[in-house]
Structure 1
Amino acid sequence: MTKTVLRIDASARHTGSESRALTQRIVDRLAPTTVINRDLAVPVPAIDSEWLTANWTPEDQRTDAQRETLALSDTLIQEVQTADTIVIGAPIYNFGIPATLKTWIDQIARAGITFRYSETGPQGLMTGKRAIVAITSGGTQVGSDFDFASGYLRHVLGFIGITDVQFVAADQLMVDADASHAKAEAALQALAA
């Protein structure tokens, strides 16, 4: 049984959002004891030169201002560390993920905390977690040559150590909504709680 779920919604829409509806159904199916909600419609700030300088300054040498610069990133990472399962609502915008979701990823992908470099290459440190991605699109078929979202999400989650990644796709909703919803429902029912 899943104990803690981190639910991330990246849709810019609140009303009528297919990905938000799907993340809710996934969370309901998992029946966690605790849900941490992170709504990226209230975007996290993009990393900038001050953030990079603070991040690369050894922790014991950071100024108070640098600690404040990294405070949100630390909180976002803590949310991932706390969760057993991460449920991500990822609508495909222009063949990729929403900018707000990419910004969240930039905030949590920190060397020495969520991954590290070793002699054999990068090693993810967020192991033992599961991710379920509710991916939606109007016309892009998930897994097609024009889908730059699902492969990226699988890769970046694996990069930080989350290799158990499942997709519940409601894609090509503008092409055949009924077939899309039926496919998503089948994937949802196949999820182990």
Structure 2
Amino acid sequence: MRTVLVIESSISGKAGKSSQLVAQFLTKLPADVQLDRIDLASQPLPHLEMNEIAAWMTPEADRSLEQAALARHSDDLIARIHQADAIVLGVPMYNFGVPSQLKALFDRVARAGVTFKYTEQGPVGLLSDKPVVVFATRGGIYQGTNADSQTPFLQQFFNFIGLSEQYFIYAEGLNMGEEAAKAALEKAEQRIGELSRKLAA
């Protein structure tokens, strides 16, 4: 790996457990890896509106200055994904879903004809596959239950745009007492060591 795109979505910023696990993972990567960071707490994206979609659909040469500025949100994000050799995300669970800031980013990454296309056989992702590492932190225990809407959503989203090499590291039960939180973080840290060695190989 030469470049890693890091996307953090905790509203707690660096104090968030997902951000802290991301930071630990990054320390395990080779020293020459370049990091491209997106912190959605300090630089949140607005929710997607129709005028921005209209800007995408307008040929670049015909865009107004306002449309060019609107389209740049999506164009820049997609360019950064193309340039990255791997993507690392910190994803806390808020009310059973992903943070709305992260959903706003996803809405700008999924673009017909750019990151996916529809065919007679169904949708096909257009991005070159690369590792996607998700650090999922939760106050309760949700992995493998019907209440975990995050995991299938993230899996489906990344598969939809062509990114099928996915790794999930969970830290759950973080609000269920000190011992439960400690055990969850220790388990996640062990998984970090295993995965970082695998990806660096």
Bin the TM-score by the shorter chain. over 0.9
Counterparts in 2 of 1:116-135, with a 5 A limit?
116-135=117-136
1:115 aligns with 2:116: yes
Specify which of 167, 185, 188 is matched with residue 184 of structure 1.
188
Query: C-alpha displacement at 1:113, in angstroms?
Result: 1.1
Counterpart in the other structure of 2:9: 10
1:20 aligns with 2:6: no
Q: State the alpha-carbon separation in 2 of the partners of residues 72 and 14 from structure 1.
A: 21
Size of the aligned set, in residue pairs, is 192
Query: C-alpha displacement at 1:29, in angstroms?
Result: 1.8
Query: After superposition, what is the alpha-carbon deviation per residue over 1:108-134, rounded to whole angstroms, capped at 9, x for unaligned?
Result: 111111111122111111122110001
Counterpart in the other structure of 2:52: 51
Query: After superposition, what is the alpha-carbon deviation per residue over 1:63-118, rounded to whole angstroms, capped at 9, x for unaligned?
Result: 33322210111111111111010000000111110000000000111111111112
Secondary structure of residue in 1 paired with 2:81: helix
Query: After superposition, what is the alpha-carbon deviation per residue over 1:6-56, rounded to whole angstroms, capped at 9, x for unaligned?
Result: 000000002531100111112222235210000000211211020121122
Counterpart in the other structure of 1:169: 170
Counterpart in the other structure of 1:157: 158
Q: State the alpha-carbon separation in 2 of the partners of residues 37 and 62 from structure 1.
A: 28
1:37 aligns with 2:23: no
Counterparts in 2 of 1:88-107, with a 5 A limit?
88-107=89-108
Q: TM-score, with normalisation over the residues of structure 2?
A: 0.90
Secondary structure of residue in 2 paired with 1:87: strand
Structure 1: runs of 5+ lacking an equivalent? none
Give the letter aligned to residue 38 of structure 1.
Answer: I
1:138 aligns with 2:136: no
Give the letter aligned to residue 190 of structure 2.
Answer: A
Structure 2: runs of 5+ lacking an equivalent? none
Secondary structure of residue in 2 paired with 1:30: coil
